[in-house]
């Protein structure tokens, strides 16, 4: 059991991280904290993707021509490339969310969700 936990320790870390993010998005009242939760949620998935591409003893995926290449010697670059896109997506989400929060703060003078809802209902 201990061995099972230790061998997969990175996965346990991502699960903990995604749960922290999810809790932040669902349970926090402050919209900025929700946004931070959302970021943690996204980054945990990005870390998870990056970890699935790495190999023990693997090196940079650059093959020098003329040499026979063994796939096991190189880390898998594809998940890392995918995550470049996902990082851009994450940054764009944060940008739009911050813009929306600026609009909300100017309008209602607060970022607490319950206060904004109260102001909307009036």
Partner 1 sequence: MSPEHYPSLIVVTPLMMSFIVFAAGLFNRRICYPLVIATLCACFYFSVTLLARVMQQGSPIHYYLGAWDPPWGIEYVVDHLNGLILVSVALIALLVGIYSRSIAAGEFREEKLPQFYTLFLLQVTGLLGMTITGDAFNLYVLLEIASFSAYAIIGMGEGAAAFAAFRYMIFGTIGACAYLLGVGYLYILTGSLNMADLRDLLPPLYGSRVLMAGFAFLMVGVAIKMGLFPVHPWLPDSYTLAPSSVSALLAPLFTKVGAYVLLRVLFTIFDPTFSVTVIPATAVLGWLGVAGVLFAGVMALAQADLKRMLCYLIVAEMGFIVIGIASANRFGLTGAVLHTVNDMFMMACLFTAVGTINACAGTRNLRDLRGINRRLPVTMGVFVVAALSVIGIPPLCGFFSKWYLVLGAIKAGQWAYVAALLISSLLSAVLFFRVIEQVYFAGHETGDGSKTVIDRIPLSQLAPMVCLALCIMLLGVFSGKLINTVIAFAVPAAL
Would you state the structure tokens that stand for residue 90, as one six-digit string? 């994450």
CB of 56 to partner 1, least distance (A): 16
C-alpha–C-alpha distance, residues 55 and 61, integer Å: 11
DSSP 66-120: TS---GGGB--HHHHHHHHHHHHHHHHHHHHHHHHHHHHHHHHS--BHHHHHHHH
According to DSSP, the residues that pair with 59 across neighbouring strands are 74
Torsion of CA 75, 76, 79, 83, to 10 degrees: 40
Residues 62-101 that bind partner 1 (CB under 8 A): 79, 82, 85-86, 89, 92-93, 96-97, 99-101
Q: Cβ closer to partner 1: 5 or 92?
A: 92
CB of 98 to partner 1, least distance (A): 10
Binding flags for partner 1, 13-42, as an x/- string (CB under 8 A): ---------x--x-----x--x---x--xx
Q: Cβ closer to partner 1: 75 or 101?
A: 101
**Is the CB of residue 77 less than 8 Å from the CB of residue 53?**
yes
CB of 52 to partner 1, least distance (A): 6
Footprint of partner 1 (CB under 8 A): 22, 25, 31, 34, 38, 41-42, 45, 48-49, 52, 79, 82, 85-86, 89, 92-93, 96-97, 99-101, 103-104, 107, 116-117, 120
């Amino acid at each position: 059991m201990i061995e099972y936990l230790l061998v997969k320790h990175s996965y346990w870390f991502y699960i903990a991280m995604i749960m922290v993010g999810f809790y932040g998005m669902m349970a926090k009242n402050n919209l900025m904290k929700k946004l931070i939760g959302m970021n943690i949620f996204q980054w945990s998935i990005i870390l998870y993707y990056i970890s699935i591409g790495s190999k023990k003893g693997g090196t940079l995926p650059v093959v020098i021509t003329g040499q026979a290449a063994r796939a096991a010697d190189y880390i898998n670059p594809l998940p890392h490339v995918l995550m470049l896109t996902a990082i851009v997506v994450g940054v764009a989400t944060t940008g739009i969310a911050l813009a929306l929060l600026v609009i909300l703060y100017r309008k209602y003078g607060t970022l607490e969700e319950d206060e904004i809802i109260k102001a909307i209902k009036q």
